[in-house]
Structure 1
Amino acid sequence: MKINKYLKIGGLSLALTAMLSTSCQNVLEQEFRSELGPEFFATAGGLEGGITASYSIMRFFWGSEGFTYTANAGTDESMLGASDGNTTYFQYTNILPSEGSVSGIWNNCYQAINNLNGVLKFGPTANVDPARRTALLAEAKFLRGFFYFELVKTFGDIPLNLEFIEVPTTSATRQPIADVYAAIIKDLTEASQELPNTSNQSKGRATKPAALHLLAKAYLTRGWSTAAQPTDFQMAAATAKSLIDNQATYSLGLEQDFANVHREGNEYGKEVLFTVDRNTDPSYAESQFNNSPQIASGNKENRTNFFWVALYTQAINVNAGIPGAPTNTVAVMDRDTRNGRPFRRFRPTNYTLNTAFGERVNDSRYFKTFQSAWIFNRPTPVSTSRGTLVTGQDTALWMPGVEVTVAQRRAFKGVIWTPSQYTADLHPTMTKYVAVNRLTVNESSYRPYILFRLADTYLLAAEAYIKDNKPTEAAAMINAVRQRAAFRSTNTAAQNTAAVTAVTITPAQATIDFLLDERTRELYGEYTRWQDLVRTQTLKTRLARYNPTPGFKDFQVLRPIPQSQIDLVTTGPRFPQNPGY
């Protein structure tokens, strides 16, 4: 088993004899300042600190490059851009047990779980205000259920340990997913009953609505699995619906305008149920901050603002598509903080652009998800056959998302870049993670990551209703999301009403296939797609239909067990690998 002797909480490293239920290796050497035993969890500071440390571990995932690949690559939605990114997860080639992204999920989840087991063992006797203690222990249950849910979705059968491990051991076994789901649902059920409706401690803390959302998703995911219980889809629908019906009680609601959901500065908006918190304090944000005075502190850096950005600085023929115009190849944009650092790790597939977002007249989400215009920002003028671009005024690059006529190109001073011109370098940029408020151009994001939001709750409820053969109820849930998507602030009231009518679906249209298209429209790039397709058992068919990936094998709906885990179990039966790896 893996020994983690020092638990890092914020800026303080606490010496603990805390063993993870995963593997056995040398003691993790970290600087520490206080020799404190596990009983520290029974103090007020230890109880708070153990919870804070477990929240902090989430930042190893949401925002890191490796985890972003595991969540978004190898799906119908996205393919690799022209960068030097890792092709492994896009093409399903060489996903090995030694791959760092999967071992990172395993090791970090189990580290958090053992922290939480310590909190739940020692916390009930902590000298803390009883109401606060109850809320903290409920947060621990939520978080333990959260991390076990990540593990079981990713790896299948896994070690299940609900006790704080203090004595090292070199043996470990895997428990069936049925046992793991039972533990997850128990934790999340209790958390949903004990957590407050809203948090007055921190925006990034678990609350009752966050627990209800995750509980609904756990029921739903188990319902699709080999561990399914007869009432799973009913329970998933009822749990999600209880959150939806009581949203006002929790000070929640769908944003009127989809553009506001991911607007920078609105990460704690009324639609948000749970975030992975961040801020500009270097000891809290734990970022490597390129070319900035911030303190480097490891791989919890939030680079979501880089991964989806196209190479808008590329030199292009500014007269392309205009017969008779001279060739003039030049960059029409310089890199800046508003438009981002062009890592181009991900680009949308034809399915995403043409099928999921194919209807753009009444559904406003395409232009609120992808950047379509870049304002000329170069200090040196650039001339096209139509005129000279003025800094800060003219649109230098425009991606209208459709083909245009030569006449339209001649009438536009800048460059029009249409779908037939898209390349792995230059393509629509997804804008949900834009981070303008940074100190330098190449700096990563300070923004909190929105992990759960209410629109997803509606879609999870719809999926559960579809599986429970209730298409009328499913359509109502989908329509709530689609009707919001019809809103444009530039429309008249009558135009918005007409758009709502146009996007409303019938119960007969409420199918899993339609729902998955809807999830792309609503949740593109929000770290759910790979698991969505695995959960709904559609990964293989949708890859074949929309993004053929010859390397994919049926067994790859699970990730490999980390080789370090297998090698370090030296007592008892050999720790088993997932089939195919």
Structure 2
Amino acid sequence: MKTKTIYRLLLAAGAVVTVSMFSCNKDLDKTNPNSVGLDQSFKTAADLQTAVNAAYSVIKSSSLVGREWFFVHDLRSDDVSTGGSQLEAPRAQILNGGTQPSNPVMNSVWNALYTAIHRANTAILKGPGVTDNPALRDRIVGEAKFLRGWAYFDLVSMWGKVPLYTLPVQSFSDSKPRSSVDSIYAQIIQDLKDAAGNLPGKSGYDAANKGRVTNAAANAMLGRVYMQKGDYASAKAALLLIPTTGADGYSLTARWLDNFEEEHEFNSESILEVIFVDKKTANFNWGGQSVGDVLNGNTELTTVRNQEYCPVAWRNLIPSDKLINEFENSGFGATKTDPRFSWTVYQSGDKYNNGAETLTDGDQNGNGSTFHGTAKKISWRKFMLMYKMSKSAMGFYPGGNNQRLIRYADVLLMLAECENELGNSAAAVGYLNQVRDRADVLMPHYPTAQYPTGTKDQVTKAIMHERSVELADEEVRNIDIMRWRIKGYYPSIAPEPLSYFQKNRDELLPIPQAELDNNPKVTGDQNPGY
């Protein structure tokens, strides 16, 4: 007899979990005759599609893009402030820089990212054995490699060294130690390159397959990854592969708000979206995923973002004072007031519900803001459904508004940064001005009185400004902050964005306590300062 802890892999959950601790002998260590092993599964392209659908499913679940993902990204940025005491303690902990290894919001994102990786690994492993439909097989493996690369980029950028799994975990002995940041980036880059080579353009998918990743999405992510590594030449090369003409081409929409409203999903600017469905009910997929989600990646899911940030709902996070004062305003030294301000945020006096209702201070639960020295109630407008819904309908309403993960405006701004870092400041300014030339934005070209562009540092400051106002609350600001911090741009070009920041601690989140407890190859290997 001996005492040991038995761990078992749940393929559906995609994680190693403790089952029980008990005394046993060898006679009890038997294979479950009712289980189906990997060697018996995923024999056809249709089977492979089930595996990759399951990876998509966890990405749109409440543990990731449906809820906790946007919280973790936003709370690590200077785009947001607390809406008031209604912000739950674990979220306030991240916002205020006091994140603990046991933080459940952070842990939820970590676990879900590894779940998505496990499911993608299954499709990638089994792909070579599928022969019934080689074209579909190759596309599915390309999708899986993109999703694995996307997940690992979130992990490495927020936690640094993490365990690197490229095969499905089938037993406790498969546990991995933390890999080097360089090796993780090398895997991400290879995955995204492979994906770009096997994925079609957007015209290669019919209406039933909208939302699947494309070669443009792979190249855009590849550009983002290279930039985070400081390899701007490779980033530029990848970004320039994104087509701008023909059936697979991308361009800026004439109307800026088309990027954040349900009626204009999958428009000319949208490179990657996570699909959500309005179920016309108050039901939300709390707790991540149901059994149905695991078995069917097409299960309809809603996003609770419309509830969490909505001015007349929970209003847990609001735009930060720093952000609302970043927009150019003719009353404070600019030639023209940037129209993107009134499309990014609501403030008291604004109309909503197709113009039928007026937002008041009393409607907006919690904290106020300070706009150029004046106290105001200001809330998020991006991705909210108030533009077409009444206050009474917004009591609790999870929405179906797709989350746009990558859009062409971001590609142009990434190219601007690449050109500036490569010594081509004039080309960088040209890309910035393309974004400002959108038909309904038409902001004055750089250089302006507030943003001269005579030096590389001045262009960098203009890039920082333009990314802030164009991409506010699109979950890229914290990634920008980390990249610019590494380059030493704080405080030489701009002040450190996070007031709580402590060097050699707050660059990264803590490794979750559950990982330290359950993975013996990680035990004791915590990030600095925690």
User: If the TM-score is normalised by the length of the shorter chain, which range does it land in?
Assistant: 0.7 to 0.9
Number of the residue aligned with 1:57: 58
Equivalent residue, structure 1, for 2:471: 523
Q: Which deviations, in whole Å up to 9, do the C-alpha atoms of 1:449-487 show, x marking residues without a partner? A: 111111111111112222222212211221111121x63
Structure 1 residues 42 and 239, CA gap change in structure 2 (3 angstroms): same
Mark the CA change 1:514 to 1:132 in structure 2 (over 3 Å): closer, same or farther: same
1:513 pairs with one of 447, 461, 466: 461
Q: Give the alignment partner of residue 341 of structure 2, picking from 337, 351, 366.
A: 366
Q: 2:168 aligns with which of 164, 168, 178?
A: 164
Q: Assess, with a 3 A threshold, how the Cα gap between structure 1 residues 541 and 132 changes in structure 2: closer, same or farther.
A: same
Q: In 2, Cα distance between the equivalents of 1:481 and 1:156?
A: 32
Aligned to 2:69: 67
For 2:518, the aligned partner's letter is L
State whether structure 2 residue 516 is matched by structure 1 residue 579.
Answer: no
Give runs of aligned pairs for residues 120-519 of structure 1, distance below 5 A: 120-169=124-173, 171-198=175-202, 199-200=205-206, 201-223=208-230, 232-243=231-242, 246-280=244-278, 287=285, 302-310=303-311, 340-341=312-313, 343-358=314-329, 359=334, 361=336, 363-372=338-347, 373-375=349-351, 395=358, 397=360, 422=375, 426-434=377-385, 436=388, 441-484=395-438, 487=440, 499=444, 506=453, 508=455, 511-519=459-467
Distance 2:352 2:56 in 1: 41
> For residues 419-439 of structure 1, what are the alpha-carbon distances to aligned partners after superposition, in whole Å with 9 as ceiling and x for unaligned?
65536xx32433333364697
How far residue 507 of structure 1 moved from its aligned partner, in angstroms, is: 6.0
Instruction: Say what the alpha-carbon RMSD is for the aligned residues.
Output: 3.7
CA-to-partner distance for each residue in 1:250-296, whole Å, 9 max, x for gaps? 1321101212221232121110011111113599x96359xxxxx99
Q: For residue 383 of structure 1, what is the aligned residue in structure 2?
A: none
**Deviation readout 1:526-574 (Å, 9 max, x if unpaired):** 111112101221796499948663465541111111111111123x673
- For the residue of structure 1 that corresponds to 2:380, the secondary structure is coil
> Structure 1 residues 471, 37: CA separation in 2 closer, same or farther (over 3 Å shift)?
same
Deviation at 1:361, TM superposition (A): 2.2
The amino acid of 2:381's aligned partner reads M
Q: Does 1:25 find its partner at 2:18?
A: yes
Instruction: Sort the Cα spacing of 1:286 and 1:55 in 2 relative to 1 into closer, same or farther, 3 A.
Output: farther
Aligned CA distance change for structure 1 residues 351 and 440 (closer, same or farther; 3 Å):
closer
Residue 567 (structure 1) aligned to one of 507, 512, 517: 517
- In structure 2, the partner of 1:336 is none
Between the aligned partners of 1:376 and 1:262, the Cα distance in structure 2 is: 15
CA contact (8 A) 2:276 2:300 kept: no
Unaligned runs of 5+ in 1: 9-17, 28-33, 224-231, 290-294, 311-339, 378-390, 400-416, 489-495
Deviation at 1:392, TM superposition (A): 7.4
Instruction: String of CA shifts for 1:27-74, please: whole Å, max 9, x gaps.
Output: 8xxxxxx95332322233321111111011112355555433321124
| 1:168 Cα deviation after fit | 2.6
| 1:388 counterpart residue number | none
Check the 8 A contact 1:256/1:487 in 2, yes or no: yes
Distance 1:281 1:480, change over 3 A: same
How far is 1:98 from its partner?
0.8
Amino acid at match of 2:77: T
Aligned to 1:115: 119
Structure with bigger gyration radius: 1
Question: Could you say which residue in structure 1 is the equivalent of 2:3?
Answer: none
Aligned-pair distance for 1:206? 0.3
Q: Is the 8 A contact 1:352 1:520 kept in 2?
A: yes
- What is the match of residue 5 of structure 1? 10
Distance in 1 of aligned mates of 2:216 and 2:373: 44
Question: What do the CA deviations read for 1:499-520 (whole angstroms, capped 9, x no partner)?
Answer: 5688797564763332121111
Question: Whole-Å Cα distance in 2 between the matches of residues 531 and 120 of structure 1?
Answer: 28
The change in CA–CA distance for 1:109 and 1:550 in structure 2 (over 3 A counts) is closer
TM-score (norm 2): 0.79
1:184-223 deviations in Å (ceiling 9; x for gaps): 1011011111100112252210001101100111111112
Partner of 1:14: none
Instruction: Supply the distance in 1 between the matched residues of 2:173 and 2:518 (Cα, whole angstroms).
Output: 10
Amino acid at match of 1:427: I
- The answer to whether the Cα contact below 8 Å between 2:75 and 2:94 also exists between their aligned partners in 1 is yes
> 1:80 touches 1:345 (CA, 8 Å); kept in 2?
yes
1:166 aligned partner, one-letter code:
Q
Q: Does the 8 Å CA contact 2:275/2:403 hold for their aligned counterparts?
A: yes
Distance 2:511 2:417 in 1: 29
Q: Deviations over 1:336-383 (max 9, x none)?
A: xxxx42x22222233222233444825321122122444599xxxxxx
C-alpha distance after superposition, 1:285-341 (max 9, x if no partner): 96359xxxxx9999975121133333xxxxxxxxxxxxxxxxxxxxxxxxxxxxx42
CA distance in 2, matches of 1:296, 1:183: 28
> 1:556: which partner in 2?
506
Structure 1 pair 433/540, CA: closer, same or farther in 2 (3 Å)?
farther
Per mean C-alpha deviation after superposition, the further-off stretch among 431-440 and 69-78 is: 431-440
* Structure 2: gaps spanning 5 or more residues: 1-5, 21-33, 363-369
Q: Identity of aligned pairs, percent?
A: 23
| 2:79 aligned residue (57, 77, 80) | 77
Structure 2 SS opposite 1:7: coil
- The SS at the match of 1:41 is coil
TM-score in terms of structure 1 length: 0.73
Distance 2:271 2:355 in 1: 37
| 1:30 corresponding residue in structure 2 | none
**Matched residue type, 1:253:** S
Per the alignment, residue 41 of structure 1 pairs with: 42
- Post-superposition offset of 1:171: 4.5
